[in-house]
């Protein structure tokens, strides 16, 4: 099986123009719509359906195209062969120790149309079908192989960043310093209410004391999220790793969060065993977030998305430079869709130190976040640098020995832990963004970004580290 993300070429090259906002009375209306539509995106699912690929598009199969029938695979008058499976179907028991493989049927492949990010994920079970699809669509679509792994920034060891003590209870008070503006915001009743906060990570433990008081909209994005045989599921939030639970606790935890009253939407897209994910899974998670954010009750509400994940700095072994660049461009297109939809993307810069800028932090559309400790010292691991005249990071956040929620034991005993990394700094800044959006919900995502940068506390450059506009604070 070969998997590709089909993205319209015009969508990759062109940024959607935000339509006119406001009324004669001056009221600003901020629905999640854009003036420029990439209508060619609809061609991909129609063509793939005609080629015999099975649709996994929710809530159900795509209706047949009017006046067209699926192409026949056999010549007229010839004997029809009994279909054979091209993989493990639903009735095939897995062999012990066998690698995980997608369950497939007798169809030529499968696909999922993701209209909100303007892309289609396609799985081809034969080279012949792929060749036919390319013949029909290659002029208008990039076929982006889903081969480059994404992961959250590399872990920071305890010895490098100080003690990683664990606790079984929340602290008496939040640790955010006065200069952060978080205590001031909370004293004024600004706690994130009315703001949508999306998180793409390993998941969230919805029953941890830090999160149990709210309803968390949660989607588990499976290893094969775009297959009709392995659908993604909306279930009670869980997190087999703890990274996502820690991130959510920093941004929105009841006892420790910067913005504890946001509405939290979490997509589990990263496996705990490999700490890896794919472009297809991130695309499925992002499509789900935009679908939730665009529902009638949410369509005009301000939103922020935290992405503590990214591509490796260089193409992994066995991945060509061309395929690597295609994956990058596709991810940039998806992040651009967030901005087009009035959603602010906040991204971890990475943990590889100076001159190691990765993606998506290096994209202009991202608000890239580096890490400092609570004394404003730049963390030695915080990534920074210049990519095509873009300076990364844009801003800094607290990311050294930050206390937040992790996992629970079998006896329901909950744990907290201090962790370090730009993965921790990003949700702090996402929380700050949520406070600004709570105070002024009529501001656009770009206006909130500018506000964060304008109000940042300036920091001196530390050795080879760049610090952007400084430490993000609420003012």
The set of catalytic residues is 201, 243, 423
Asked if omega into 70 is within 30° of 0 (cis), the reply is no
Contacts of 249 (CB under 8 A, 6+ apart): 208, 210, 211, 256, 257, 404, 405, 416
401's torsion region: left (phi>0), alpha (psi -120 to 50) or beta? left
Question: How far from 404 is each of 23, 124, 214, 341, CA to CA, in Å?
Answer: 43, 43, 17, 30
**How far is residue 231's CA from residue 15's CA, in Å, rounded to a whole number?**
31
Strand 402-408 relative to strand 414-419, pairing: antiparallel
**How far is residue 150's CA from residue 147's CA, in Å, rounded to a whole number?**
10
Residue 247 in tokens: 């991130």
């Amino acid at each position: 099986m070969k998997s590709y993300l089909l993205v319209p070429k015009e969508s990759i090259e062109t940024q959607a123009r935000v339509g006119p906002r406001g009324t004669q009375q001056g009221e600003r209306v901020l629905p999640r719509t854009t003036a420029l539509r990439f209508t060619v995106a609809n061609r991909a699912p129609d063509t793939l359906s005609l080629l015999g690929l099975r649709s996994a598009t929710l809530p159900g199969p795509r209706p047949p195209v009017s006046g067209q029938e699926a192409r026949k695979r056999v010549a007229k008058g010839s004997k029809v062969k009994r279909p054979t499976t091209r993989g493990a179907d639903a009735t095939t028991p897995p062999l012990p120790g066998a690698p995980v493989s997608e369950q497939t049927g007798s169809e030529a492949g499968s696909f999922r149309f993701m209209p909100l990010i303007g892309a289609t994920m396609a799985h081809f079970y034969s080279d012949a079908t792929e060749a036919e699809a390319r013949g029909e669509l290659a002029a208008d679509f990039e076929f982006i192989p889903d081969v480059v792994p994404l992961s959250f920034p590399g872990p920071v060891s305890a010895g490098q960043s100080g003690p990683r003590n664990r606790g079984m209870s929340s602290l008496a008070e939040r640790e955010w310093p006065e200069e952060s503006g978080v205590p001031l915001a909370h004293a004024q009743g600004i706690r994130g209410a009315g703001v949508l906060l999306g998180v793409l990570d390993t998941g969230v433990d919805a029953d941890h004391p830090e999160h149990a008081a709210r309803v968390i909209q949660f989607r588990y994005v499976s290893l094969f999220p775009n297959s009709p045989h392995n659908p993604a599921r909306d279930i009670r939030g869980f997190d087999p790793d703890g990274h996502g639970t820690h991130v959510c606790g920093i941004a929105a935890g009841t006892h420790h969060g910067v913005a504890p009253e946001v509405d939290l939407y979490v997509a589990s897209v990263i496996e705990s065993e490999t700490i890896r994910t794919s472009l297809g899974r991130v695309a499925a998670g992002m499509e789900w977030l935009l679908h939730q954010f665009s529902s009638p009750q949410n369509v005009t509400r301000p939103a922020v998305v935290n992405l503590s994940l990214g591509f490796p700095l260089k193409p992994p072994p066995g991945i060509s430079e061309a395929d690597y660049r295609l994956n990058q461009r596709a991810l940039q297109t998806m992040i651009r869709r967030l901005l087009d939809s009035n959603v602010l993307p906040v991204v971890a810069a990475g943990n590889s130190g100076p001159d190691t800028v990765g993606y998506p932090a290096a994209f202009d559309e991202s608000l890239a976040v580096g890490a400092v400790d609570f004394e404003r010292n730049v963390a030695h691991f915080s990534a920074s640098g210049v990519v095509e005249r873009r300076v990364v990071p844009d801003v800094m956040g607290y990311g050294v020995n930050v206390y937040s929620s992790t996992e629970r034991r079998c006896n329901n005993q909950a744990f907290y832990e201090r962790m370090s990394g730009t993965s921790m700094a990003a949700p702090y800044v996402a929380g700050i963004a949520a406070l600004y959006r709570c105070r002024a919900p009529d501001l656009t995502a770009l206006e909130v970004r500018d506000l964060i940068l304008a109000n940042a506390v300036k920091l001196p450059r530390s050795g080879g580290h760049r610090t952007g506009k400084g430490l993000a604070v609420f003012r």
